[in-house]
Amino acid sequence: MLLLQNAQIVDETGQLKKQDILISNGKITAIAHVIEVTSEMEVIDVASKLVAPGFIDVHVHLREPGFEYKETVKTGTLAAAKGGFTTIAPMPNVDPVPDSQEHLAHLEAIITKDACIKVVPIASITVDEQGDTLVPMEQLAKRVIGFSDDGVGIQDAGTMYQAMLAAKAVNKPIIAHTEDDSLKNRGFVHEGVYAKSKGWRGIPSICESSQIARDLMLAQASGCHYHVCHISAKESVQLIREAQAKGIQATAEVTPHHLVLIDEDVIDSQGKMNPPLRSSADRDALIGGINDGTIAMIATDHAPHSDEEKARGIELAPFGIVGLETAFPLLYTQLVKTNQTSLSNLIALMTKNPANIFNMSDRGELAVGKQADITIIDLEKKARVDSNTFVSLGKNTPFNGMELQGWPVCTIVDGHIVYQEKE
């Protein structure tokens, strides 16, 4: 048994209160103001640090199999543990794509062998993510949390509609990368005044929002749970808000970087991601979305690349930044400390909400009977981001050198410590 003494937890009112938490057989077995210590308990005095449910990230790229020079299941899950994450969902744009029972089994074997936290796979929507032939969803459904062709948008409406019908039949969500290729214009940053001043080709917001509009109509017709990846545009937020008001089963995620940065913060390839960082008005709409519940969760879109790839210049470098090791302190510093959202809302966006939406009922809350997936955070700790200290193989971040506050110091999965900050 493990006893966490003097924990600060966020209660139902959003206030911090001191509690002891007892863990036994991988589950939380008691939470009380004081729990009496017995001889069989291992005791950790968390010294009034914040104790939260383990973070859940439904959108990461572990790159394995196929691209192990960028990241592996081992390094990616170690990075996640360091960032306070206890459950992550890797996207299927690897090689081979998990589009069949055989390919999914290959990925599962790597996860079983090398993951230090919980990893719940996502299968592709179409074979090899080519956008035409659907995967056998009924064969894969029980082993994945949903279906996504992340990295590319499904261009054909008929294919997407058939995918939604098939996903609905097996009670799984379509997790959509929304991008109309005909509107992308070979762009690599947000289409706006800043891009024009730099002579950079831009990607317009309608590249994202027009496909969301199409898909929301298809979701309404099919009855499928439709989940939008890494939402970035104010028009997209409004479309989802209106769809939810109509009773369409639509959910969305937003990344830490889209909540914190805008297009004018892009200096070089370290700020290049897809969807791109957009305007301050878009960022304000995203923050509004997480505060009114339109956007129910935060997902990092952790996208590691090699130094050589990111050194190719902004036009030729691949899209994406890493995010697992900086997500919480970044959002705590930039949003909570500036009163743009509450601590309780931030925690819900990273724990309870994704657990509820993706049917992970055994985790996401500090409650008796739940799995003991727990993150301990030092809200007073300040440190500068240093990509050289990242556990991830990817060092590609625009936040290097930024001082952040509120760092995870210990991560527990099923009652076992998987990360602990060195003294």
Strand partners, 408: 377
- The values of phi and psi at residue 167, to 5°, are -70, -40
Is the distance from CB of 254 to CB of 286 less than 8 angstroms? yes
Structure-token pair, residue 223: 């009855």
Mean pLDDT of 227-236: 98
CA separation for the pair 93, 105 (Å, rounded): 15
Q: Domain residue spans in the chain?
A: 2-50+371-420, 54-357
**Which of these, 271, 267, 286, 279, lies nearest to 321 by C-alpha position?**
271
Q: CA 20, CA 376: separation in Å to the nearest integer?
A: 13
* Statement: residue 423 has pLDDT above 70: no
CA angle 114, 120, 126 (to 5 degrees): 110
Range 50-58 average pLDDT: 98
Q: By percentage, how much of the chain surpasses pLDDT 70?
A: 100
> pLDDT of 346-378, one tens digit each?
999 999 999 999 999 999 999 999 999 999 999
CATH code at 2-50+371-420: 2.30.40.10
- Look at residue 13 in the predicted model and tell me its pLDDT: 82
- Output the pTM of the full model: 0.97
pLDDT for 327-347, tens place per residue? 999 999 999 999 999 999 999
d(Cα 7, Cα 342) in Å, to the nearest integer?
Answer: 19
pLDDT band, very low/low/confident/very high, at 14 (cuts 50, 70, 90): confident
DSSP assignment letter at 318? P
Could you give the residue numbers annotated as active site?
Answer: 301
In 3D space, the residue among 147, 118, 144 whose CA is nearest the CA of residue 53 turns out to be 118
Q: Which fold has domain 54-357?
A: TIM Barrel (3.20.20)
Smallest Cα–Cα separation from 356: which of 96, 56, 41, 33? 56
Mean confidence (pLDDT) of the chain: 97
Identical topology for domains 2-50+371-420 and 54-357: no
Q: Which tens digits make up the pLDDT trace of 245-293?
A: 999 999 999 999 999 999 999 999 999 999 999 999 999 999 999 999 9
CA distance 7 to 5: 6
